[in-house]
Structure 1
Amino acid sequence: MTENIHPDDHVLLSTLAKRSDLSVPRPQTHFLDFPDEASAQRLLAAVSAEWTPVGVTRKGQVWRAAVARADKPTNRTTIPVARTYLTGLAESVGGRYFGWEATTDVGLRHHDDPADEFVTIEQLNENEAAAINQLLPALNQMGLTLTPENLANFARENRARWLELNDADGGLTRENAEFLIGTAAGEQIGRATGLRWIVIVQGEDSEIALADAERGLIRPYAMAADWWDDPESEDVADFVRAAILLVTTGGN
């Protein structure tokens, strides 16, 4: 089963392993999408003997059912089994498997402290993935995913104009600029290293990042935010080159 592990599962488990002991039981939640609420509810009823039904929510054009358990480890043995089982059940009632999330040891270790928030590792949702995919053709056309120097030069040349628009547009341009720079940097790193986009969630805060195969966690949007606040403190080209080197050499 481990030889056929799904690429998304490999990404999430590799990232989870950085913070957690994958041999111990931990809360895990799986998500399944359906064309209507009745189908989603049928799935919840079908798995209730082994899984805890979390509920059904509307997500755009689909209904998403969530099921959870906390009595098993989340690792390269259990996750493929769960994915195969839940995928089969979902497809039997017209649905599809969407993905999963799990609590890290940070959340487990301090779960009695109300001030501490669980940390989960998730795959991108449809909106997050769509936002990146919609931007990529423009980034590719402008050459911003080709070299670190192309991206850094573009950022430097346009920063003054973005700042002017930022003052006029109430801050929207800062967010757009950070997303543009972060996406381009992340794509360069991902293409060079094989890292994939994931989401780190803690409480109400979430961050899109890159991770894969026990080789580290790279945060291109955090870099873009630091660069916006102080362009002298974060060289975009240096960040991309350093991230690729760190991942490909293991920091050596």
Structure 2
Amino acid sequence: MDLVKRYKDDVACIIVTPFHHPAFGDQVLPAPSFFADLRRICDENGIVLALDDVRAGFRLSMHGSHAYFGFSPDLTCFSKAIANGYTLSACLGKAALKAAASRVFFTGSFFGGAVEMAAALATLDELERRDAIAHMMKMGTMLQDGLKELARARGLEVVVSGPPTIPYMRFANETNFRRMQRFSGEAARRGVIFHPHHNWFMMEAHKEEDIRQALDVADKCFEVVKKEFGG
């Protein structure tokens, strides 16, 4: 709020992600009142609130991550999951912004890509029909809980962060990611990808047998890390 007061006449828009999901760091979910307070500040000062939902969109709620966290942005940007890997992005906005948007000219070579549009429609239908988010939540919780339990059994301390559909793990008390890189490299050799620096993405295609396989590999990798680096 102090920054808005200081730069009130210069702030047209505040752009946020639904939660903090950096590379090389823990994911942090918003405080319960964060978005309500931010919405109020934007309304009181005539500021557009835009949500970058490119990474988390359709992984927390089919209506967008703002529905999951209980607030209403003025603009929302989607990509990634919206078309299941096909190159598509979308910006949705409130009706009050349509007139202003119509005065801004921009174009692109692939705006009329019918294949991408068809992929998005099919993807959204399948996500809804299969109740995919609930399934990904279940699989992600199984993975997160399993990693914590396996690490504890090996005498290792890990930090598991993020919502279950977008989990991330790192080794505690480490800033150079050497143990995490070793863990991830060993896992890759065994056919499982755990990105060492970036959050992971659960998919509707992940089944319990996949999670059990990943955890079996993780246990072997924890053993390697414990042997080489200690607890």
Give the structure-1-normalised TM-score.
0.29
Give the structure-2-normalised TM-score.
0.31
